[in-house]
Structure 1
Amino acid sequence: MVNLNIAFVALAALFWGLSGGIGGILMADGWDAFVVSFYRGAIGLLCVLLWLALRPRRSGLANRWLWFWSAIAGFGVAGNFAFYFVSIAQGSVAVAATLMYCAPVFVYLVSFVLKLERPTLLKFAAIVVVMLGIGLLTQIYDIGASGVTPIGVGAGLLAGLSYAVFIFGFKYAAPHGSPQAILAIAFAVLAIVLVGVILIRPGDVDQTMAVVALNTPDWPLFAALGVLGAGLSFVLYLIGLRQTAPAVASIVAMVEPVTASLFGVVVLHESLVIAQMIGMALILATVTAMSVFSRATQPPSAVSTG
């Protein structure tokens, strides 16, 4: 059973990695990053509502703190989806996925500020190594050479920061209700936020795109993006995490940026130079080690997502 749970976590990470590539294809076809993000979350919401309907017990939906922290998680996941696809549009899938994988660094920094975790020399050294990896990956010293714009770099880091917000929101919502209830509220907030962003942006191109998306030949890609990238993946991850050691889950989660990077190189014909590969390796190895060390010192109940 443990192996099956690890397989669920690995599948979830694989689907998240594929969602970056699918989003890259859609944006290469001319779809706006916010429209792509909206459909990923909206279709994911339908999947999570089905899960909630099948498992309605102990949902906690009458608890106001569940709604509050789930809404915080919703703002986090909305930012994560949107900034991730903006980063892909302004750079590459490989760079965006790896920058987003820096989320544990932001979790550390926020934990330091809130005094939830004690800062140590080793932790600060790990953060410095990650920052070095980011510099090599994005070639910040010669940013034009990498094909990644400053907006792409900033959006990728904001995607990681937003994911950290989602992690904290989910963690504090978890004692008040079921995972499916938390995700249902979070994805509903995501849909509302992204609809609002689409409506207030100048011009009516985004609004038109949002309305006609599922009536175009690209609708199977939108459906796959929502089911794999937000619905089935989150369900599998949370089910698998119940019986999987957090340290193991952290290592298995590396499947996501690796899958996204391979998809970008093989399908989207993106390329990485040696310095970027070294930077990617530094980030993935250090962040995974940080996650393993941190989670190994916490009880499993304290970790809801990663």
Structure 2
Amino acid sequence: MVLSSVCFGSSGLFASAVMATGWSAPQVTAVRIWLAALVLVLVVGVFRRAGLRVARSEWPLLAGYALLGVVGIQLCYFLAVSRLPVGIALLLEYLSPVLVALWVRFVRGTRLPAAAWLGTALALTGLALVAQVWQGLRLDLLGLLAGLAAAVCSAGYFLLGEHAVSTRDPLGPVTLGMAGGAVLMLLVCPPWLVPGHTLGAATTFGGWHPPVWSLLVALALLGTVAAYLIGMSALRHLPPSVASVLALIEPVLAAAAAWALLGQSLTAAQLVGGVVLLAGALIVRLAGGRPRVEPGPLAEPVPTTGSA
């Protein structure tokens, strides 16, 4: 789970460096998803072909998973990264456990323990500190909205993904969701809009100047394929309480790496807010537990892993 969090956290660093050369968030998202889908389909098609078989009743679930858990979360997150420091973008996305808890309470009508509400209050307080609301929301408004939208999509990813893997090998839904996301990205960003002529251009990544294409490949293989597969494998061996704690290192490592490699820093108030937000998210996760998934309507568990 630690390795998966490191892989997930690297995606914002790679994407931010690529977008600094003139790429847009939709262009980076499209190439990331296309490459990841290609790798996953080839691997599953060769070694686990049965995972690609889908019953007719599963198509709506997989379509929602592709829309929210693959396209929506990555597109919104990269849009946030293009306008905000990587660490703040990830902190905003980590409001997803709070959103899932609110869905469980007000949509399903399930009573939550007092600790869940305490965690929600802490997370919202941390968000206010990160956004520095007392100074008129100093964060870029579009970036802030994109980060919050990423949290909504992340909540949908967990709600739909938990149900999808309850009856089948996780590799199948991940691969099919990524393939569906690749098709959707053809509509959002057709291939001819990708600036292929800049693939060989040099980027600034810490003290190195790798070409754009190398960071895109790393983004697809390390920040997407490896992150998803390693994380899914870890969840088969760890209880959710342990996975929750380990997953919280993702925004911490990402913020530290962004400071070291990209020169992005946070104010003291934002650092304190980040700690408070993560503490609140952790309390919500531990208080919510992980309900057993029942057949039929979608179950709404509190999420137990990091971002996409």
Shorter-normalised TM range:
0.7 to 0.9
Give the whole-Å Cα distance in 2 for the aligned partners of 1:138 and 1:266: 22
Tell me by how many angstroms 1:57 deviates.
Answer: 6.3
Unaligned regions of 5+ residues in structure 2, if any?
202-210
Distance in 1, matches of 2:252 and 2:9, equals 7
Partner of 1:79: 72
Which whole-Å CA distance do the structure 2 matches of 1:64 and 1:141 have between them?
A: 51
Paired amino acid for 2:40: V
**CA–CA distance in 2 between the matches of 1:12 and 1:100?**
17
In the alignment, is residue 46 of structure 1 matched against residue 31 of structure 2? no
Residues 146-157 of structure 1 aligned to structure 2 (within 5 Å):
148-157=139-148
Cross-structure match for 1:113: 106
Cα pair 2:121 2:280 within 8 Å, conserved:
no
Partner of 1:18: 10
Provide the residue aligned with 1:235 in structure 2: 229
Q: Map 1:170-249 onto structure 2 (within 5 A).
A: 170-199=161-190, 207-209=192-194, 211-212=196-197, 214=199, 217-249=211-243
Give aligned-pair identity as a percent.
25
C-alpha distance after superposition, 1:138-181 (max 9, x if no partner): 11232564xx2011111101101101111111122223432111
Query: Partners of 1:70 and 1:281 in 2: how far apart?
Result: 34
Amino acid at match of 1:225: L
Structure 1 gap ranges (5+) = 1-8, 200-205
Q: How far apart, CA to CA, are the structure 2 residues paired with 1:51 and 1:242? A: 20
2:89 is aligned with 1:96: yes
Q: How much has 1:110 moved relative to structure 2?
A: 1.6
**How far is 1:14 from its partner?**
0.3
Question: Structure 1 pair 242/140, CA: closer, same or farther in 2 (3 Å)?
Answer: same
Counterpart of 2:29, as a letter, is: S
Q: Which amino acid aligns with 1:209?
A: V
How far is 1:261 from its partner? 0.6
| Alignment partner, residue 169 of structure 1 | 160
TM-score (norm 1): 0.86
The equivalent residue for 1:128 is 121
Structure number with higher helix proportion: 1
Distance 1:212 1:167, change over 3 A: farther
SS of 1:59 mapped into structure 2: helix
Alpha-carbon distance between aligned partners in 2 of 1:115 and 1:140, rounded to the nearest angstrom: 32
Classify 1:141/1:181 alpha carbon distance in 2 versus 1 (closer, same or farther; 3 Å): same
Contact 2:116–2:288 at 8 Å: present in 1 too? no
Distance 2:59 2:282 in 1: 31
CA drift at 1:23: 0.8
Residue 58 (structure 1) shift: 5.2
Counterparts of residues 275-286 of structure 1 (less than 5 Å) = 275-286=269-280
- CA distance in 1 between counterparts of 2:198 and 2:155 reads 30
What displacement does 1:94 show?
1.0
| Pairwise CA distance, 1:123 | 2.0
Alignment-derived partner of residue 70 in structure 1: 62
1:9-35 per-residue CA deviation (whole Å, 9 max, x = no partner) reads 111100111111111111112111111
Native 8 Å contact 1:61 1:177 kept in 2: no
**C-alpha contact 1:133 1:278 (8 A) present in aligned 2:** yes
Aligned residues: 289
- Provide Cα deviations, 1:75-105, integer angstroms capped at 9, x if missing partner: 1121110111111111110110111111111
Corresponding residue of 1:3: none
| TM-score, with length taken from structure 2 | 0.86
Runs of 4+ in 1 over 4 A off after TM superposition: 210-216, 299-305
Number of the residue aligned with 2:208: none
Distance verdict in 2 for CA 1:173–1:137, change over 3 Å:
same
